[in-house]
Amino acid sequence: MNILSHLSRLLISIVLLTLLVTPVAASDTAKEKRWESQITDTLLAGEAVKLKAGNTEFLGLFTPAAGKKIYGGIVLMHGIGAHPAWPEVIEPLRSQLPEHGWTVLSIQMPILPNDATDKDYAPLFDEVPPRIQAAIDYLKSKGVKNIVLMGHSLGNSMASYYLATKKEPAIHAVVVISGGLGVVNDAKADSYKNYAKVSLPFLDVYGSQDMEGVHKAVKQRGDTFKKTNPRYTQIEIKGADHFYAQLDDELVKRVRSWLVKNVGENK
């Protein structure tokens, strides 16, 4: 009996230790499914597509380019706790850029409950590269060659981790919209360190009334990247806050103007 009791306690200890050392953080897929249902029922622009990253299916909103000139495609990534049709920042870009020659694939990124912080998201970053790669592969299957990564807020940190994992990413440019520094000293979520390795055309957009953390990040990136990347550009949008309230048309205008000059046509 003593031996059995000892073995039982040992087994319980092993199980508890396994739970402690095994990562349990993962995207809230139930929440993803609820949003998917809501979005697809009310979708006006583009079409909902199913993308797959490993064994995980996730939502993408695909809107093909229109107009006389076709420039390329954009993988659009929302910020913390949002979705691919988020009304602030994401939806204006997703719906308007196609009118100016850009195919947009806005994708659902891993998400957590509404009260989660950037640090809480760090363990989910391993789920990010497969999702972005699935989006890139989808755009390629549609004949899109000039592919741009564009992220708002936490979406930019996720984009930076994808770039850090790829030696030769099939990306032609990066657009960061109100991006912070990420989770400093975290190898996956430290967007400043990840972006420091990027030599692609790089647009860094922020609002004059943006968050303090964004202004700090913009200064730090500017001080370094302007010296190390000749294709790095900063644009401040006067009067804009973190979500570009009442200034989303200006955001779209400034972004597409930079893209045309720095990425060119889809050849």
Report d(CA 100, CA 65) in Å as an integer.
Answer: 7
Please list the alpha-helical segments (H only) found in 24-72. Answer: 29-42
**In the chain, what are the domains?**
27-262 (3.40.50.1820)
Q: Which residue has 């975290």 as its token pair?
A: 186
Of residues 67 and 14, the one with the higher pLDDT is: 67
With a cut of 80, say whether residue 84 has pLDDT above it: yes
Of residues 84 and 22, the one with the higher pLDDT is: 84
Least confident of 3-17, 30-44, 97-111: 3-17
For the beta carbon of residue 81, count every other beta carbon within 10 angstroms: 18
Give the pLDDT band (50/70/90) at residue 132.
very high
Two tokens at 7? Answer: 């073995």
Give the pLDDT band (50/70/90) at residue 20.
very low
Q: Walk across the sheet containing 173-177 and list its strands.
A: 47-53, 56-63, 102-107, 72-77, 147-152, 173-177, 202-207, 232-237
pLDDT of residue 44: 86
Of residues 3 and 176, the one with the higher pLDDT is: 176
Report d(CA 267, CA 265) in Å as an integer.
Answer: 6
Q: What is the pLDDT of residues 170-183, one digit of tens each?
A: 899 999 999 999 99
Report d(CA 171, CA 209) in Å as an integer.
Answer: 30
Two tokens at 77? Answer: 């990534």
Mean pLDDT confidence for 209-228: 97
pLDDT of residue 90: 98
Q: What is the pLDDT of residues 144-163, one digit of tens each?
A: 989 999 999 999 999 999 99
Please list the alpha-helical segments (H only) found in 199-247. Answer: 212-228
User: In the chain, what percentage of residues exceed pLDDT 70?
Assistant: 90
Chain center to CA of 29: 17
Report d(CA 43, CA 89) in Å as an integer.
Answer: 17
